[in-house]
A and B are shown apart, each in its own frame.
Chain A
Amino acid sequence: MEEVLRAENISKSFPGVLAVDNVSLSLGHGEILALVGENGAGKSTLTQILGGAQRPDSGRIILEGKTVSFNSPADAIRAGISMVFQELSLVGSLSVAENIFANRQPVGRLNNVQWKALYQEAQDFLSRFDLDLDPRILVKRLSMGQQQILEILKAISTHPKVLILDEPTSSLTENEIAYLFQNIRKLQEQGMSFIYITHKLSEIFQIASRVIVMRDGKYIASRNVSEVSENDLVSMMVGRQITNLYGAAVEKPLGAERLRVESLSRKGVFQDINFQLRAGEILGFAGLVGAGRTEVARAIFGIDRKDSGKIYLNGNEIQISKPEDAIKRRIAYLTEDRKGWGLFLGMTVRENLIAPSLKRFASRMDFLNQKLVNEYAEKQIEIYSIQTASILKKVLHLSGGNQQKCLVAMWMGIQPEVVIFDEPTRGVDVGARAEIYKTLREFANAGVGIILISSDLPELIGMCDRILVMHQGRIKGEVQRKDFSEELILSYAAGLEETQHA
């Protein structure tokens, strides 16, 4: 097969991470190449480099025999590489036609937009893809799936030699996926080449001819799809040793039921979530990004409303309609979005530590007792070994690990009975991770019920007593500690179990 695109020794680092480590790949004319790996394996960074959205630190990109270098996605598009980004890049206030032909509308002699020609061209283009869509309608009126299809068509309309698709099916229905695949095959026959990133391994076998596996920023393997199984791919993706960073799991009898959730649903987000959490238990939630884990946690904590379902705390049904209710019941939620939702970055360590439990330090006139506050803050930074020059330092200036410890200390102040940790170690260095794990275990041993949401499988396997795996808004599987394996969890998370049984 004639080669259309070659990447040689691409590397890219961000502060603290080597996101892509000396990766090379080659793409043939009319080939559909799948790119897989766990979250953080470097797939997205690599494709952003190919698509001009990032510049590599080193390495070469060769398109049809010529070395190219892109300063922006627009450069890459002109050269013949289009990328469909995960976040939608459509303008809601403009029409379908204007979005497809953004910045290259048909124009007259005075650089005036020729509307009739624009709509006609858009109509022709859409009907070539059998899409029954009014080109005059505003994009904000389309469904998520329609928008995602439109986004892909917009990229196709630039007649790229190479089209990069990053999780293109994440918000498509089964019919829309079938439609997309059909059109990808049609374009492939016409000679277009594709790089296809996906978490849904089953899609690879439907659409791709070759697959490349990445892990920790490195190129691991390239295989013809006909020569691998899904299980092969999973073990290549995982391929890591589990260390004892997580401390020894103490065999302990679990206590009484702390939290029970019955048929919790939120339309279009998660359905029929049932689970029980016992005192002293660490219950893991595994799943891919977008599987609905965080959303379940947010609903339990009262950030988002739920459509139906019941929540019981220590055997009694409780009503939670806002976070305040949850805090009063001593349920804590430590958000995955530490900087956006979790901490008051511009405020001091002291102000952050007391934030969820202000009332404890207030006099009857609602004045804060400064002496109490200072003592408490000093005590917390010692217990949670937060490394800061003083309690008056702004949280902004702490390292990621110390920020996370600060978030933990802040919520432990409400003396919770149930704690939901959402990605507690994302962006946290190994030393601070070990301390966070230690804290988690101590709390579990003291009888707190802990839910641990994580995309880091070794972390879940190292820490949890039991793991629930979510896939597309549902709990797809439950794995007991004795059965823990990354392969099993990943296959539930990819929704594979279902296809095997079917």
Chain B
Amino acid sequence: MERVSRFFRSTVAGPLVAFLVVATFASLATPRFLQPQNLSNVSLQVATVAVVSIGATLVILTGGIDLSPGSTVALVTCTLAILVKNMGLPLPVGILLVLLLGVACGFVNGFFSTYGRIPSFIVTLATMSIYRGLAFLITKGTPIFSVSPALEPLFYGKLLGIPLPFYYVVILYALGSLFLRNTVQGRAIYAVGGNESAARLTGIAVNRSKLLAFVVAGLTAAIGGVLLTAWLNSGSPNYGAELGLQSIAAAVIGGASLVGGYGSMIATLVGALTVAVVQNGLNLLAVPASWQEITLGIVIVAAVGLDMWKSSIGRAFSKLFRQT
């Protein structure tokens, strides 16, 4: 029984249990959930949130928070649509430019919350408003449809029968995980969030590490934006409104601590999948949107609660088994 209680103490236990509970519910509630067609749908639905959550996790690991990725996504979809459709730039050039735009958005967030000494909550609250405002400004508030026929294959294409977004997610998470686990800079991000003054005393460039996290967050938001543009073949200032909070939700369901220092890429992916499965399952059951929102909220509290209480749950388990 030692193994049971050790499992409950490990870091992925909470998110994994939450995910399994949600997935079991979904597959029991509707047989359609486990059909290949639906699972491939889930992978499409999870792609954007999952990619944006990579950046959210990095920022949260340093002890900061990024509220703005949803607005960055909106700005990116609009800019890409304008560059490609209205200005006639080749698609790869357009994509490259909007990725740079995302990096710039992240840089602004990072710069003001480190060297500018404004709390990241405030900075990104402001840029959340500014970036979406810019998206409205450049589109005059109207969505741009049918951006480019070359876009859709990026999202709907398949390799070996599996949708491309699946590969994007796997590759980006593998890269993120490698970076966090196996580079000095990645470990520095943990140290900065775990104990900032300790990090400074050991000679880690604290501000640079935080700035890097925000820049990556801007980049992953931009990638998310490109995926969304391809998915819907359109750009709109109204897109991505829920992505900011969902990416934070994915990270915290995955066990990341908002104080910083705790969390991992794999756990965030589990968190993002949980969010996607909840939505997909409820969609299949034709549950109204209002109930979907409520359920997602409950799942967040339950998953994080499970993580907070897991040591006492583990203790209770081992006590229970010792008595019998």
Contact = CB atoms under 8 A, between A and B. Distances in A.
A242 interface: no
B111 interface: no
Interface in B177-226: 178, 181-188, 190-191, 193-195, 197-204
B203 A93 contact: no
Given A93-B194, A113-B183, A113-B187, A74 B201 contact: yes
B261 interface: yes
B262 interface: yes
A247 B228 CA distance: 78
Given A85-B201, A93-B261, A102 B191 contact: yes
A72 B207 CA distance: 15
A98 B202 CA distance: 11
Contacts of A102: 187, 191, 198-199, 202, 204
A111 B178 CA distance: 12
A113 B190 CA distance: 14
B: contact size bracket: 20 to 34
B289 to A, nearest CB: 38
Given A73-B201, A92-B261, A93-B261, A105 B184 contact: yes
Given A103-B188, A112-B182, A92 B195 contact: yes
Contact of A94 (B187, B197, B200): B187
Interface string A192-221: 000000000000000000000000000000
B227 to A, nearest CB: 28
A98 B186 CA distance: 12
Contacts of B195: 89-92
Interface string A293-333: 00000000000000000000000000000000000000000
A105 B182 CA distance: 10
Instruction: From A72, A77, A78, A94, name the one whose CB has the most chain B CB atoms within 10 angstroms.
Output: A94
Contacts of A78: 203
A90 B197 CA distance: 9
Contacts of B194: 91-94
Contacts of B184: 103, 105, 107, 111, 113
A147 B263 CA distance: 22
A103 B189 CA distance: 11
A105 B187 contact: yes
Nearest to B193: A93
Nearest to A87: B197
Contacts of A111: 183-185
Interface string A69-96: 0001110011000000101111111100
Contact of B198 (A77, A91, A107, A113): A91
A78 B183 CA distance: 22
Interface string A409-435: 000000000000000000000000000
Nearest to A77: B203
Instruction: From B183, B186, B201, B262, name the one whose CB has the most chain A CB atoms within 10 angstroms.
Output: B201
A91 B186 CA distance: 14
Interface string B92-132: 00000000000000000000000000000000000000000
Interface in B259-275: 261-262
A91 B183 contact: no
A111 to B, nearest CB: 6
Nearest to A158: B202
A217 B203 CA distance: 29
Nearest to A52: B201
Interface string A95-119: 0001000110101001111010000
Contact of B191 (A91, A107, A113): A91
B185 to A, nearest CB: 8
A110 B185 CA distance: 12
B190 A91 contact: yes
Nearest to B192: A91
Contact of A93 (B178, B183, B190): B190
A422 B201 CA distance: 32
A91 B199 contact: yes
Contacts of B197: 87, 89
B260 to A, nearest CB: 8
Contacts of B191: 91, 94, 98, 102-103
Interface in B57-114: none
A92 B185 CA distance: 18
A74 B198 CA distance: 11
A163 to B, nearest CB: 14
A103 B190 contact: no
B221 to A, nearest CB: 26
Contacts of B190: 91, 93-94
A111 B187 CA distance: 12
A88 B202 CA distance: 13
Contacts of B262: 93
Contact of B203 (A72, A91, A107): A72
Contacts of A77: 203
B261 A103 contact: no
Nearest to A140: B194
A353 B288 CA distance: 54
Contacts of A107: 184
A107 B194 CA distance: 22
Given A94-B190, A94-B191, A103-B188, A89 B201 contact: yes
A257 B221 CA distance: 69
Contacts of A115: 182
Contacts of A88: 198
Contacts of B183: 110-113
- The 8 lowest CB-CB distance pairs between A and B, nearest first, are A74-B203, A91-B194, A93-B261, A89-B198, A93-B194, A102-B202, A91-B195, A112-B182
Given A88-B198, A102-B204, A113-B186, 5 more contacts: A73-B201, A74-B201, A90-B198, A94-B194, A113-B183
19 contacts: A74-B201, A77-B203, A87-B197, A89-B201, A90-B198, A91-B190, A92-B194, A92-B195, A92-B261, A94-B190, A94-B191, A102-B202, A103-B188, A103-B202, A103-B204, A113-B182, A113-B183, A113-B184, A113-B187
